[in-house]
Structure 1
Amino acid sequence: MIRILIADDEPLLRAGISTILSAAEDITVVAEAGSGAEAIDLAVRERPDVVLLDLRMPGMGGLAAIPRLREVAPGARVIVLTTFDEDYNIATALEAGASGFLLKRSAAEELLRGIRTVHNGDTYLSPSVTGRVVGMITTTDRARREKAKQLIARLTPREQDVLWLLGEGLSNADIGARLRMREASIKTYVSRLLGKLGCANRVQAALLVRDAGPAQRPGNRA
């Protein structure tokens, strides 16, 4: 059973999401919060698997809450809920450790798919805005680029193969198919390379790939 904490300052929205999730046999809502601070307190007590977190809340907003949630409930994965047109801090949220984001106007099916995907260890970015998110994550900072390259250089060639494909947004199953490897093996590689890179999740690793710039693609090394 996937345990969910919903954090949003709009009671009607929380109620609507809770109703949708309660209809799923593999999901249960364990708590609801109206602010980032309340979400942190409830995460400590309830130990949710996934936190649905609004970025814009009174007092402590979602953006400030993400790193604290990572500290107090490291096993919980965070999905940002956003209207997107207003929330230009999405790249910062992803870098802080969010495992994905969904638009508040997303269909129920997409909400459930996003939760299950993130719970399984993959990243979920709402398909309708993925391109815009990628465009926001660009960097021209030379020091940051060099640091990313140095970190990636620590990986084995096969770990780098997995990382490049992870950076394209592929799931473990898709990476395995591309590299002709078992999905379980890919999961092991992802876990190992995240540790080597010091990344909290797949999104942070993907951002690191973006920072490093163009790279040699899998299967094309000299």
Structure 2
Amino acid sequence: MLSAVRVLIVDDHPVVREGVASQLARHSDIHVVGHAADGAEATAACARERPDVVLLDVRLPDALAADLVPRLRRASPSTRVLLFTAFPEHSAVAPSLAAGAVGLLVKDASGAALGAAIRDVVRTGAYRSGLTASADAPLTPREYDVLRLVASGHTNTEIAQELVLSPNTVKTYLQNVMRKLDARNRAQVITNARAHGLL
């Protein structure tokens, strides 16, 4: 008999964690090994439990999925991260997938669909259903990198050094970000990015 698929649920809403655990309890081949409410808890639990799959909300109190996915993969290299969100069109989805998440599952999925998605991830290493919406995400992964450094107070020259790009290339990326987020200056691009859930 094959061992059960081990799942870690990461979401800052207790009712979501409990609801998902309840749904997964109906699948004899899936076992929830832990819950986490934020990125720090998730990283620690991932290192401790080494789950097969992490169900990860896109936004947590202390981290965005795009930042957290690499940390989880370092903590447990064999673990696969499946995004779990009520907003598949969320702007942070594409950067999170670029960071190494293996797919996206919408929170209104049935218990059967939830189990099937987790099995797909274990069997194939990915879950393809639901990814089309992320194609409309406004920023490319590199544009997202530039945005995060802008929000941290870095100059274009500093960003160029950090990302090993020319200052002119950084300027072009930043202009693209400002155009996509309808911003006229750095302060406004940060404000609008936060409104879109990118920061």
**TM-score normalised by the chain length of structure 1:** 0.58
- Tell me, yes or no, if the aligned pair for 1:9 and 1:58 is still in contact at 8 Å: yes
- In 1: Cα distance, 2:42 partner to 2:139 partner: 30
2:83 matched residue in structure 1:
80
The alignment status of 1:37 with 2:24, answered yes or no, reads: no
Q: Which runs of 4+ in 1 moved over 3 A?
A: 134-139
Q: Which residue type is aligned with residue 104 of structure 1?
A: K
Q: CA deviation at 1:56?
A: 1.1
Query: What's the secondary structure of 2:61's corresponding residue?
Result: coil
- Tell me, yes or no, if the aligned pair for 2:89 and 2:133 is still in contact at 8 Å: no
- In 1: Cα distance, 2:89 partner to 2:138 partner: 16
- In 1: Cα distance, 2:73 partner to 2:93 partner: 17
Q: Structure 1: 5+ residue runs without aligned partners?
A: 142-222
Q: Which residue type is aligned with residue 42 of structure 1?
A: A
- Tell me, yes or no, if the aligned pair for 2:33 and 2:49 is still in contact at 8 Å: yes
- Tell me, yes or no, if the aligned pair for 2:88 and 2:134 is still in contact at 8 Å: no
- Tell me, yes or no, if the aligned pair for 1:35 and 1:61 is still in contact at 8 Å: no
2:167 matched residue in structure 1:
none
- Tell me, yes or no, if the aligned pair for 1:5 and 1:31 is still in contact at 8 Å: yes
Q: Which residue type is aligned with residue 134 of structure 2?
A: V
The alignment status of 1:133 with 2:157, answered yes or no, reads: no
- In 1: Cα distance, 2:120 partner to 2:88 partner: 24
Give CA deviations for 1:177-208 in whole Å, capped at 9, x if unaligned. Answer: xxxxxxxxxxxxxxxxxxxxxxxxxxxxxxxx
Match of 1:114 among 117, 133, 140: 117
Q: Which residue type is aligned with residue 36 of structure 1?
A: G
- Tell me, yes or no, if the aligned pair for 2:92 and 2:137 is still in contact at 8 Å: no
- The aligned runs of 1:9-158 (5 Å cut-off) are 9-84=12-87, 87-127=90-130, 130-136=131-137
- Tell me, yes or no, if the aligned pair for 2:94 and 2:134 is still in contact at 8 Å: yes
Q: Structure 2: 5+ residue runs without aligned partners?
A: 143-199
User: Aligned residue pairs: how many?
Assistant: 138
The alignment status of 1:4 with 2:17, answered yes or no, reads: no
**TM-score normalised by the chain length of structure 2:** 0.64
Q: CA deviation at 1:124?
A: 1.0
Q: State the identity as a percent.
A: 40
- In 2: Cα distance, 1:28 partner to 1:85 partner: 25
- In 2: Cα distance, 1:50 partner to 1:58 partner: 21
- Tell me, yes or no, if the aligned pair for 1:102 and 1:125 is still in contact at 8 Å: no
- In 1: Cα distance, 2:101 partner to 2:53 partner: 10
Q: Which residue type is aligned with residue 2 of structure 1?
A: V
Q: In 2 relative to 1, CA 87–131 (structure 1 residues): closer, same or farther, beyond 3 Å?
A: closer
- In 2: Cα distance, 1:120 partner to 1:46 partner: 20
- Tell me, yes or no, if the aligned pair for 2:46 and 2:76 is still in contact at 8 Å: yes
